Structures are given as structure tokens and as C-alpha cells.
Amino acid sequence: MAKDTIQIGECTVVLNQQKAQGIWEMELKAPLYLSDVSAFMPGQFVCLVPLDPASVMARPFSISKISVFSGSFTLLYKLVGKNTELMTKLIPGDKVYFWGPLGQGFLPKSSTYDEIWLVGGGIGIAPFVFYNEVMSKLPESIVRVFYGNRTQAEIIPLDLYSKEPVVITTDDGSAGYKGPVTDVVANFMKAAMGDKILVITCGPNIMMSKVAEICQQAGIECYVILETIMACGLNSCKGCTINTESGIKSVCHDGPVFPAKEVHWNELV
Ligand SMILES: Cc1cc2nc3c(=O)[nH]c(=O)nc-3n(C[C@H](O)[C@H](O)[C@H](O)COP(=O)(O)OP(=O)(O)OC[C@H]3O[C@@H](n4cnc5c(N)ncnc54)[C@H](O)[C@@H]3O)c2cc1C
Ligand code: FES
């Protein structure tokens, strides 16, 4: 995405509500002159700063949903530190500063695959709500969502477009399959032997590296949505660079979606 399509400005909070233990959903309406959210693509993210003196730096968040009709977009976020704590306190009508959409969106050609699998771990599910809607509208695509969590209380009720039931796993067995989501993905893959599948995964690096390994062993194409600590989000500070098979890349500009086989997992896990 070229820099001149990046929008910068103040957004108004439309909705900010807790969806599960430690997880919030925030809908933001861009001002009229910035409201063409139809340019947002799955896999992209925005940088966001609550207008509060305690908030010193912007933070990146995946675009989880867009509404072209109301010119708004939605984030799912996990409370982990100062900025996300400030975000939980915002109420409808409050303003935040943002820039985006950032990074390269990635949409596979659905006609090439029998099924597209979206594998999210914890808050790594955030980009897949958007992916699910866009991919499910394409002809002949079966989109299957795998959603791994530690426990039931952390599971966000997902309002997904596709008809396929979400495959839920929890580490403690309190909901869905018991055990790591990667085990379930591996089992489904054995059952789907011979099908042409594309996997996109987002979540903790250790989980994504395991998904990448399972896919590599099965000869399945896999893309990962990486998260690194970011400052500018604009390919300027070089704080988010990683080594890849194709050289040094900025996660904020060249990613955050990368072919799994390009990633040097030993440097990230
Ligand atoms: C491209 C991208 C998309 C993201 N999308 C989402 C999303 O949709 N929802 C969501 O909840 N989070 C997302 N994140 C992570 C989110 O940006 C961090 O959780 C957030 O910056 C934490 O800010 P804070 O001030 O609350 O925490 P801080 O006080 O800055 O940090 C608290 C803890 O979180 C860790 N942390 C900080 N930044 C990151 C990061 N980027 N990745 C992992 N750990 C981090 C710190 O090391 C520290 O341990 C994304 C990150 C990237 C790079
Ligand atoms: S965050 Fe500054 S270059 Fe990527």
C-alpha cells in the first residue's frame, strides 16, 4: 500500500466494550474526509494513540472489521499494558489519533484452493474476522476458522460471516477440543489429505512456528501474520525489522503477512 493512501487523523469512538476476559472490541468512526474504509484490506493494521498525556507512543492493532456504510472500522484488543489500559477507559464520543491502513494486505486467490484455514491463537484471532468475511464472499471458497485459547473465559463470541462452525480449542478443556490448537490443525490436515489448502495463522510466535512446521511437512502453503514491537508503523524507524530468506524486511511495511517459509523462526521463538 503506497504511503499516500495512508490516512492520518482523529477518530471517534463509537463503541468500546469488553468481549471476554481481558479482551475488548472498539469501533472507531473516521471523520468524513477520511472515511473511505473500503481501502482497508485484511492483514493490514492501524496505529492508534489515545489522546491522553500518559500515552506516549502509538500502538499497532489489526483491522478486525470494516463498515463501508458507516465509515467505521473495528479493532479487537487485549489489555496488556499502559496504552491498552487507557483504551479500555474510552467511551463513545471520545477521540483517538490514528494512522493507517498500514502494511501490505494479503488476499489469496480463493479459486486456487479447496479450503482456506485461518488459525488464530488468543488475540491473534483479530485479523481473521475481516479475513473470514472477505474470503467467504468469494465464490467456491470454504473458509475454516481454528481458534485456540487458554480457557473458555478468554474466548470472544465471534460474529463470523462464513457458515463453517469455528473449531475451538482450549488448553484446559473448558471449551471445544482440549489441547493446543496446533494438534487439532494437524489432525484436520491428516483428514484432509489430498485437498488443496492454504493456511494463514496469527498468534504467539511459538504457535505460528508450529503451524508453519505442520504445513511444511504436509506440503501445504502457509502465511503468517507477524507481530513485532513497532514505533512508527511507517517504515521509517526500522524498529520492526526481521531477517528473512529474502533479506531484511520491515514487518510494518513489507508485512505483517509473510510466507511462513521466509521466516527465520529460530530468531523469533
Ligand atoms: C501488526 C500488529 C498488529 C497487532 N494487532 C493487535 C490486535 O489486533 N489486538 C491486540 O490486542 N494486539 C495487537 N498487537 C499487539 C499490540 O500492538 C500490543 O499489545 C500493544 O502495543 C501493547 O501496548 P501497551 O501500551 O498496552 O503495552 P506495553 O506497556 O507497551 O507492553 C506490555 C507488554 O506487551 C508487550 N508488547 C508490546 N507491544 C507488543 C507487540 N507488538 N507484540 C507483542 N507484545 C507486545 C510488551 O513487551 C510488554 O510485555 C499487534 C501488533 C502488531 C505489530
Ligand atoms: S515500526 Fe518503524 S519501521 Fe516499522
Q: Which of 84, 102, 120 is the last residue of a domain?
A: 102
In this structure, the answer to whether residues 91 and 169 fall within a common structural domain is no
163 and 140 inside one domain:
yes
Average pLDDT for 77-90: 95
Closest CA to 203 of 252, 268, 140, 135: 268
Residues 138 and 245 in one domain: yes
Is 252 assigned to a binding site?
yes
Residues 36 and 74 both lie in one domain: yes
Q: Which atom of ligand 1 is nearest to the CA of 126?
A: 8
Q: CA 200 to CA 172: how far, in whole Å?
A: 25
87 and 173 inside one domain: no
Same domain, 138 and 237: yes
Q: Is the domain of 247 the same as that of 139?
A: yes
- CB-defined site of ligand 1, < 6 Å: 45, 59-62, 75-78, 80-84, 123, 126, 227-230, 256
Domain termination site, one of 70, 102, 134: 102
Contacts of 84 (CB under 8 A, 6+ apart): 59, 77, 78
CATH of the domain at 27: 2.40.30.10
Residues 239 and 161 placed together within one structural domain of the fold:
yes
Question: Of 112 and 250, which is predicted with more confidence?
Answer: 250
CA–CA separation, 110 and 125 (whole Å): 20
Domain boundary at 50, 77, 102, which? 102
User: Could you tell me the three cell numbers for 23?
Assistant: 479482551
Q: Are residues 160 and 221 in the same domain?
A: yes
β-strand partners of 13: 28
Amino acid type, 7: Q
User: Does residue 1 have a pLDDT over 60?
Assistant: no
Please tell me whether residues 251 and 220 are part of one structural domain.
yes
Q: Are residues 211 and 84 in the same domain?
A: no
Q: Using only C-alpha atoms, what is the Rg of the chain?
A: 18
List the beta strands (DSSP E) in the chain: 7-20, 23-29, 45-50, 59-62, 65-67, 72-78, 95-102, 115-121, 142-149, 167-170, 177-178, 197-202, 221-225, 241-244, 247-250, 257-259
Domain harbouring 180, CATH code: 3.40.50.80
Query: Distance between CA 256 and CA 258 in Å, rounded?
Result: 6
Q: Report how far apart the first and last C-alpha atoms of the chain are (Å, whole number).
A: 28
Atom index in ligand 2 nearest the CA of residue 238 equals: 3
Q: Which ligand is nearest to the CA of 45?
A: 1
- Pocket lined around ligand 2, Cβ cut-off 6 Å: 230-233, 235-240, 250, 252
Binning pLDDT at 50, 70 and 90, where does residue 141 land? confident
**Whether ipTM exceeds 0.90:** yes
pLDDT tens digits for range 211-224: 999 999 999 999 99
Are 129 and 254 contained in the same domain?
yes
The rounded percent of the chain whose pLDDT value lies above 70 is 97
59 is in an annotated binding site: yes
Give the number of whichever ligand sits closest to the CA of residue 85: 1
Residue of 93, 16, 116 lying closest to 61 (CA atoms): 16
User: CA-to-CA distance for 125 and 146, rounded, in angstroms?
Assistant: 9
> Structural domain of residue 235, as residue ranges?
110-267
User: Per the structure, how many domains does the chain have?
Assistant: 2
| Residues 82-86, mean pLDDT to the nearest whole number | 93
Indicate the average pLDDT of the chain: 92
Going from the Cα of 230 to the center of ligand 1, the distance in angstroms, rounded, reads 8
